[in-house]
Amino acid sequence: MSGASLRRSLAKGKVLSPSDSAEWPRTSNKAHEKIDFTETHWTLLLIAGGSDHVIPASFNRKDFDAYQHVGSQKDYQVSGKRTHYICARSGREEVASYVADWMATVVAKQ
């Protein structure tokens, strides 16, 4: 699916699935923007909204799974029935609390 086609689908409110794009996990055609998923990476927490139709949880999961370095800290959390606007909706304090607890655990391990 091309970028223009993807934008048209989103504008029409189409719910996307991972099969809609060969680009997942996200990649780039520019050498300086490519991600080597096998290299050590910074601590990574991906939080997906279970009802996110902009970037569905399954897309975030594919990105998460792409990071393959065994020694790097990573975690993935689907946040219930939340939408793409996790930080702007009611209940955001619960998500913030999860992030704070997760960060404290990561720091404690270092």
Sorted by sequence, the CB contacts under 8 Å of residue 80 that are 6+ apart come out as 49, 50
Confidence of residue 78 (pLDDT cuts 50, 70, 90): very high
Intra-chain end-to-end CA distance of the chain, in Å: 41
Residue 52: what pLDDT?
92
**pLDDT higher for 82 or 35?**
82
Is the predicted pLDDT of residue 6 greater than 60, yes or no? no
DSSP state of 80: T
Residue 22: what pLDDT?
47
Confidence of residue 50 (pLDDT cuts 50, 70, 90): very high
DSSP state of 12: T
Is the predicted pLDDT of residue 7 greater than 80, yes or no? no
Sorted by sequence, the CB contacts under 8 Å of residue 45 that are 6+ apart come out as 74, 75, 76, 77, 99, 102, 103
The pLDDT of 74-99, averaged and rounded, is 90
